[in-house]
Amino acid sequence: MINFTRKKNPMPELEPEVRRGSFAESQTGYTEEEAVCEAMRCLKCREHPCMTSGCPVHNRIPDFIDMICQGRFEDAYQILRTTTCLPAVCGRVCPQEEQCEGRCVRGIRGQSVAVGALERFVADWHREHVAAELKAREGNGKKVAVVGAGPAGLAAAGDLAELGYGVTVFEKSQVLGGVLTYGIPQFRLPKDIVEDEISQLKALGVSFETGRALGEDLSLDDLLGSMGFSAVFLGFGAGISRTMNIPGEDLKGCFQAQDFLNGINLKEGFSGFPEGRFPKYGTIAVVGGGNVAMDACRSAVRTGAGKVLIVYRRSEAEMPAHEGEIREARDEGVEFVFLHNPVRVVDDGSGKVAGLECLDTKLGEDDSRGHRKPVNIPGTEHVVPADCVIMAVGTGADDELLGKCGLETDSKGRIRVDPETMETSRPRVFAGGDAVTGPLTVISAMGAGRRAAAAIHRKLSA
């Protein structure tokens, strides 16, 4: 029986007042009854565009939703596991409105089925009710190295281990998960969820070596030569912070969003501050309009700051951040200052931040991506008072590492790969995720990791 209600079952969440003072997960997830009721909204349409064009890893969405309708939650989980090793993560952080839910036929006259919330429900149900049962597959005698333990590397490692390869993941930092662990804050993606999904890969036989950086502790020649790997997958992301290149970015109290979020996410993060905690500032101004800026401002609220501002040079309509993230930030008290272009971080006279000097802007012609360009209005300089500034203006490739790898790159410093096989300019070296596309999404990185794993298998079994 189909539930013809036009609206989604809303995802239960903590009240904004509670969220402001806590890093606990803000959304609390469906109950069994809510999940079944939402699953019944699926029309079981013939084309299922949610899966064919809406999901980069082609999750069998109609099939797993059908299992939920029947109350067969573990079967739903097993269906998801055939295409994704991170369902609890993707159910929480995928931009579903641009992907599966954006293609859902129910969305034409009403709201789409809440595919993400259902994926999350199934993965959480499995974690709470079923003891781990994965076992290492019988080995095929060949070894593959994966560099980077973010979503691209994890997805490649999972598929290769399922195919019987001996997989070792080499990770530069001391933690696994990449941006999932040190970038996305706990209130959106609890760390134990990421750890649990990685533990499934360990059970499958994948080995992880942390504190091992390509370009410093090992090279591609080592991996393909003396270390005996038949192929290498590179999934080292694009995590080098970009700066605005304006005066004052080196003042005390001015941070890069990556550093701030790393500190928030990792216990030892703020060891340079008294008691290892981020100080309580009066006003924190976060510069940027993307999802990283939203994570930074919402985290800033939780540090106890008196006031948190988003300073963005375009208007709300051009903000790249997801609508839901903007709404949640606003509910939590973040104030938005639009059409402001920062030109200087102001010094209080003792080397500390006293504000952000900005020019007013107006919107001009479309740029190459179809976004209206902000145009400075001369003579409108003024200072937005703040004692802390966080720059969230994007990340890019690690040029030094790319230079050491000696692989062909494009004009933006992204590794060039054959789009069919994901193989780089060096034979038996494959790559995917942000290192190839520039900063994108978790699921696109996972999709690339899976495509590369299939291509590696084709090459090594030819």
What minimum distance in Å lies between the beta carbon of 136 and ligand FAD? 23
Nearer to ligand FAD, 41 or 120 (CB): 120
Binding segment for ligand FAD among 18-26, 122-130, 148-156, 409-417 (CB under 6 A)?
A: 148-156
Using CB under 6 A, pick the residue from 115, 231, 389, 445 that binds ligand FAD.
Answer: 445
Q: Which residue is nearest to ligand FAD (CB)?
A: 150
What minimum distance in Å lies between the beta carbon of 148 and ligand FAD? 3
Nearer to ligand FAD, 65 or 149 (CB): 149
Check residue 205 for interaction with ligand FAD (CB under 6 A). no
Binding segment for ligand FAD among 62-70, 111-119, 135-143, 440-448 (CB under 6 A)?
A: 440-448
Check residue 234 for interaction with ligand FAD (CB under 6 A). no
What minimum distance in Å lies between the beta carbon of 330 and ligand FAD? 17
What minimum distance in Å lies between the beta carbon of 259 and ligand FAD? 11
Nearer to ligand FAD, 169 or 386 (CB): 169
Contact present, 171 and 212 (Cβ < 8 Å): yes
Using CB under 6 A, pick the residue from 37, 213, 227, 337 that binds ligand FAD.
Answer: 213
What minimum distance in Å lies between the beta carbon of 170 and ligand FAD? 5
Site string for ligand FAD, 395-414 (x = CB under 6 A): ------x-------------
What minimum distance in Å lies between the beta carbon of 231 and ligand FAD? 16
Check residue 152 for interaction with ligand FAD (CB under 6 A). yes
Using CB under 6 A, pick the residue from 29, 56, 116, 151 that binds ligand FAD.
Answer: 151
Nearer to ligand FAD, 261 or 393 (CB): 261
- Quote the CA–CA distance of 439 and 239 in Å, as a whole number: 8
Check residue 433 for interaction with ligand FAD (CB under 6 A). yes
> Which residues lie near ligand FAD (CB under 6 A)?
93-95, 147-153, 170-173, 178-179, 183-184, 213-215, 235-237, 239, 261, 291-292, 295, 401, 433-435, 439-443, 445
